[in-house]
Amino acid sequence: MPSEMPPFAPAVSSAADQMVSAHPIIAVRTAGGTQLYQFPASDQITTMWTRESHEVSRCELAIPTPLDNIPDLVPWLHWVDVWDDTGSQLYWSGPIQQATIARTQTSISARDMASLFTRTRCPMTKKWDITDPAFIAQEFIEAMVTLHGLNVQTQAYADPLGDQYDYSSTKDAVMLSSTIDDLVNLGLHWTVVSGIPLLGPMPRKPIASFNENDFVGDALTIVRDGTASFNDVVVRVKDAISQAIVPMGGLQLQTIVNVDSVSSVSNADRAAKQYVRYTGSIKDAVTMPNGAVLHPSAPVDISQLIPSTRYVIEAFGVLANVELTRVEVNHSVDAATVNVTMVAVDDELPELITLQQQKKPSTTNLTAGLGSS
């Protein structure tokens, strides 16, 4: 369990404190929760921690080496907790992976509790009937928590738009990391926030709206994109052919979409019409780089920055629905920066567009475009 922090006098406020504390407190503890060391902001050189979607998050910490009392840091046995400046809000937690001690600086590298997926064999033999992957994963992770003696409670949420599956596992047949990856392929969303595994997506309703002033610099741009525009489409499903055309200023931009099987689309004629209505225009897209820096006055705080949470971005008159996939927070001296990576989301894409996206590798870069004209 995270170490319990004594009361602290709040540090002097800074602009970044509106979103995340610029003066975090670091505690090193045993896996059972006994605190060993504590490093206030004045004893930190740099601190960085992340929140990830479907990945193990990390914390990298550099402190001056206390020569009179060099910390005895043991990977896996000792954990790092990152707290706000009052010790009341836990930002990040996980076991130390590596400690490097030099004469003037000690560097600590830690990963969240999901790093134990690669140190745990599949913990049970069981069959599930028509079950959401989040609840299957919850049973695996709770068994792992018991095995390693952790005081952690998972939180699982059903995916209202996801599918349910029959699933089976065999104890000790594979590592738990492989089992979790298998469930991700079935639609599982997972992340670890403040040391707690969150299984299943956050609600799909956007919780906040950003505009170009909510990011530092020129993070948001508009691209008028015609690279995926077609107004004359032929869909081939085995021996059947369907064609759909929409007017586009006199242009005749043709394409062919081959569908592997009849069962892949519900109706070829309807699929062709939906596809050409979607592609038969020039898109105005909001783009942003991975790791865009949020302005300190952006209308969210760190508790609202959870991977799979959705937001609306409005820039230059274009609206885009986005989903958060990664957060990186950097603390140094009296400043904190919050970097975010978001991807465009659309739950109502035409069938053929969805099929094409399933065949492409996933990406966390928004330059593919958000929104449409």
Please spell the DSSP secondary structure of 198-236, one letter per residue: EESPPPSS---EEEGGGBSSS--EEEEE-TT--SEEEEE
Residues 209 and 351 in one domain: yes
Question: Can you tell me the distance from the alpha carbon of 133 to that of 185, in angstroms, rounded to the nearest whole number?
Answer: 10
pLDDT in tens, 247-258: 999 999 999 988
Same domain for 67 and 40: yes
> Is 155 in the same domain as 57?
no
Q: Is residue 20 part of a domain?
A: yes
Domain extent at residue 314: 203-225+282-373
Q: What's the pLDDT score for residue 261?
A: 54
Query: What is the CATH number for 271?
Result: 3.30.1920
Q: How many domains does the chain have?
A: 4
Examine the domain organization and report whether 124 and 262 are in the same domain.
Answer: no
In a domain, 141, yes or no: yes
Q: Does one domain contain both 317 and 212?
A: yes
2 falls within a domain:
no
Residue 304 main-chain phi, psi, to 5 deg: -95, 0
Contact 226, 232 (CB under 8 A): no
Query: Which sign, positive or negative, has the C-alpha torsion 18, 22, 23, 26?
Result: positive
Pair (56, 166) in one structural domain: no
What is the tens place of the pLDDT at every residue in 40-97? Answer: 999 999 999 999 999 999 999 999 987 677 778 999 999 999 999 999 999 999 999 9
In a domain, 34, yes or no: yes
Instruction: Give tens-digit pLDDT for 312-352.
Output: 999 888 888 999 999 999 998 778 999 999 988 877 777 67
CATH at residue 147:
3.55.50
63 three-state secondary structure: strand
Q: Is residue 9 scored above 60 in pLDDT?
A: no
**Of 253, 281, 309, which one is at a domain's C-terminal end?**
281
Helix, strand or coil, per DSSP, at residue 193: strand
CATH at residue 67? 2.40.10
DSSP for residue 273: H
Assign residue 312 the CATH number of its domain.
2.40.30
3, part of any domain: no
pLDDT in tens, 163-213: 899 999 999 999 999 999 999 999 999 999 999 999 999 999 999 999 999
Instruction: Look at the block and give the residue holding tokens 């969805």.
Output: 354
- The enclosing H or E element of 147 equals helix 133-148
Both 273 and 349 in a single domain?
Answer: no
Q: Give the closest residue to 16 by CA, choosing from 301, 345, 324, 346.
A: 301
Q: Output the pLDDT for position 15.
A: 40
Query: Higher model confidence: residue 320 or residue 11?
Result: 320
Is the same domain home to 181 and 268? no
